[in-house]
Amino acid sequence: MFDYGSLGVNVTHLSLMLYSNHLLDHASHYESDALVPRPIPPPIPLPGSAPLVDRSPPESRHSRRRLRACHQCDWVMALPPLRSGEQATCPRCGHAEVRRHRYPAQRSMALAVASLVTLLLAISYPFLGFTVKGVSNHIELTQSATQLIGYHEPVVAIAVLLTILVLPALYLCGVILLQIGLLAGRPLPLSRLIARSLAHLEPWMMADVFLVGTLVSLIKIAGLAQVDLGSGFWAFGVFVILLVATSQSVDRDWLWFALAGEPSAPDGSRTGETAAPQGLTGCHTCGLVNRLNRGKGRCQRCSEPLHHRRPMSLQRTWALIAASAVLYIPANVYPIMTTTSFGRPDPSTIIGGVVKLIEMGSWPVALVILVASVIVPLGKLIALAWLCLVAPRAHRMNALARTRLYRMTEFIGRWSMVDIFVVAILVALIRAGNLMSITPGPAALAFGAVVVITMLAAMSFDPRLIWDEPAEPKRKRGRLR
């Protein structure tokens, strides 16, 4: 085995290296066919049996500097040569632009195949079971969604099925198809469309959130009944770990370079400046820097629609925030589920469920539900509304802190689905007639809509607006010019 490079590289060092390169190149202009070459270390030899696509990174097969425009602050930079285990971050806002892995094609292929196998095992074997007073029930993973249809909640059922099974399966199949073509040296038809789809599917995969919701459900009913963990549960736990590893192993920069190469940078592109004043923008899907015509266009590598800034970003975000705020009221006022014990129905709201858990002594579970279902949605609405207010008059001294707030808001939004998944698990599992049963309440649909709409609101907000120069106030009429 040959040495492929050191792992665990200091990210700060890479950022400083990027920044120094940008300062040196601040006044440099790229020519489409004669860009200034950058010293590139010799390619690291790999075993002859390694596929061609895995033998060397993009930097060792390209003589020109490769430009990138940060998706969060619009800073134009040149990527440095990267080895396995290294990542390049934006020197302006610290956003991770590229992460390089060793044997990227083989790694992603192996993880995706293993993930798909464990998913098939998870849906083929019993997932959970419970026994109370001689009455028992066992469910499979798919029943956590299908049982909701019987209680007139088809929209919630579809959302659960898509986020924990369908979308992850499509993502894994897409990764496998892409890597098969790349390892064979002949990308399959529609490879670029598949690669574009992967970037759009990833935020909506919530198998890890579902696993947390399952654990919360088990803790809630552990004192009421005997719980059995089936083989499907353990297979699903392994699937979640492998799915996260698969999504982390996909290097978009390497993937798109392997699929479509690296087109020349637009004429006159300058590093160390923002992209918009130069008429440039970076593609959010493949990362390529493109020149726009009248503020819009399509990426010449992946055909993704491009704009200097997302059209009507603030207006769309405000509209989605308003819709979420309206739905947040019935989501917390109406019961999210009703528990029937010995023929007595007991409806429970989100806050009511937290109070009951505290009375039962389950402080950790109560804290998880309180944070995920109450604090996170409300905090996300407040944070997005504040960002929309300050973006038109942002000051660069606070831009970095506001960008970090946006990243946190975007990351935590999906975890509010924990309560929806808890309801789905309990409704499917606890079915013992008048002895003990749980049915979904009207708040389930409203709360699920709040989670989805707040995620869309975070996606519609353009963080580059935080770094833009505020518009100069118009002069008052009658003032001498």
Answer whether 109's CB lies under 8 Å from 31's CB: no
Rg of the chain over all Cα atoms, to the nearest angstrom? 25
Say if strands 305-307 and 337-341 run parallel, antiparallel, or are unpaired: unpaired
CA separation for the pair 65, 36 (Å, rounded): 7
145 phi and psi angles, rounded to 5 deg: -100, -45
Query: Cα 259 to chain center, whole Å?
Result: 23
CA separation for the pair 318, 125 (Å, rounded): 45
Q: How confident is the model at residue 51 (pLDDT cuts 50, 70, 90)?
A: low
Q: How confident is the model at residue 53 (pLDDT cuts 50, 70, 90)?
A: low
The domain ranges of the chain are 11-100+266-283, 130-189+202-227+312-466
Which residues have CB under 8 Å from 113's CB, separation 6+? 176
Question: pLDDT > 90: what percent of the chain?
Answer: 35
* Edge-first strand listing for the sheet containing 135-139: 135-139, 128-132, 226-229
Q: What is the pLDDT of residues 208-218, one digit of tens each?
A: 999 999 998 88
Q: What is the pLDDT of residues 380-413, one digit of tens each?
A: 999 999 999 988 776 666 888 899 999 999 888 8
Average pLDDT over residues 80-90: 84
Give the per-residue pLDDT at 131. 80
Give the per-residue pLDDT at 174. 94
423 phi and psi angles, rounded to 5 deg: -60, -45
Hey, how many other C-beta atoms are within 10 angstroms of the C-beta on 297? 15
Position with higher pLDDT, 49 vs 354: 354
31 phi and psi angles, rounded to 5 deg: -105, 145
Q: What is the pLDDT of residues 279-336, one digit of tens each?
A: 999 999 988 999 988 778 899 888 899 988 888 999 999 999 999 999 999 998 999 8
* Lowest-pLDDT choice from 5-14, 111-120, 230-239, 346-355: 5-14
CA separation for the pair 206, 167 (Å, rounded): 9
Hey, how many other C-beta atoms are within 10 angstroms of the C-beta on 37? 10
**Helix (H) or strand (E) segment spanning residue 116:** helix 104-124
pLDDT at 112 over 60: yes
pLDDT at 452 over 90: yes
77 phi and psi angles, rounded to 5 deg: -145, 165
Nearest one of 77, 20, 71 to 270, comparing CA atoms: 77
Which residues have CB under 8 Å from 143's CB, separation 6+? 127, 428
Nearest one of 309, 311, 291 to 300, comparing CA atoms: 291
Q: What is the pLDDT of residues 241-291, one digit of tens each?
A: 999 999 999 988 888 888 888 888 888 888 888 999 999 999 999 889 999
Give bridge partners of residue 75 from the DSSP assignment: 274
CA separation for the pair 175, 109 (Å, rounded): 7
DSSP letter at 371 equals: I
Position with higher pLDDT, 14 vs 448: 448
pTM attached to this predicted model? 0.82
Query: Cα 256 to chain center, whole Å?
Result: 19
